[in-house]
Amino acid sequence: MLLPEFCEELFYVKEINLFETNFKNYLQKVVDYNFLDTQKWIQKLYKYNHKIIEIKLLKQFNLSSCELTKIPTLNFKNLERLNLNHNKLKSFPNLNLPNLQYLYLFNNKLTSISLNFPNLQHLDLGNNQLTSVSLNLPNLKVLHLDNNQLTSILDLTLTVPKLELLFIYNNPLPETEKNRLKSICDKVYL
């Protein structure tokens, strides 16, 4: 399957929204069969017939509700928002997204995650099956970990020093852990 012809004019695109589209079937084939050179997708998006499309200015990419079980290894240098809510992701790859500020992974099937994004400010990992998280997010301000299976959290004061708002309700946290989390940031919702 080829990308639609309009894709040849995506050079100046700043946002791609594929929310609940029939494009999800094509995207899954991309992920499964590597039709795209996903390592350099931001700079060169290859059609199956090898025509090159450039999308250098992409800032927002919405892939929510696309039934994805995997995501391509994206290398969007200018991407600031990535929405992968309401999919079926069981893992999250290590992506090169140096300008990412907002990451939405709400309502997937993640059981553990390790993230290291220097500019991330807002992270939503709510409604997954997380039992462990490893975060190195020096500029994160808002963190959603609600509705998971977490029983403890590593010291966020070291790995997420600017955290202002933590949502961590509906997790099987012991009382001692809840008390410790209350001292981490200004607002904690247990």
Q: What is the mean pLDDT of residues 151-176?
A: 90
Does residue 6 have a pLDDT over 60? no
**Residue 66: closest CA among 104, 4, 107, 19:** 19
Query: For residue 155, which amino acid is it?
Result: D
Rounded-to-integer distance, Cα 51 and Cα 8, Å = 8
**What percent of the chain is modeled with pLDDT above 90?**
45
Q: What is the pLDDT of residue 76?
A: 76
Q: What is the mean pLDDT of residues 27-38?
A: 39
Instruction: Render pLDDT for 134-154 as a digit per residue (tens, 0 to 9).
Output: 999 999 999 999 999 999 887
Rounded-to-integer distance, Cα 18 and Cα 34, Å = 19
Confirm if 143 and 160 have CB atoms less than 8 A apart.
Answer: yes
Confirm if 39 and 73 have CB atoms less than 8 A apart.
Answer: yes
Compute φ and ψ for 175, nearest 5 degrees. -60, -40
Rounded-to-integer distance, Cα 139 and Cα 185, Å = 13
Instruction: Render pLDDT for 55-114 as a digit per residue (tens, 0 to 9).
Output: 567 888 888 888 888 886 676 788 899 999 999 999 998 888 999 999 999 999 999 999
Rounded-to-integer distance, Cα 78 and Cα 76, Å = 6
Strand (E) or helix (H) holding 81 = strand 81-83
Top pLDDT among 53 and 108 is at 108
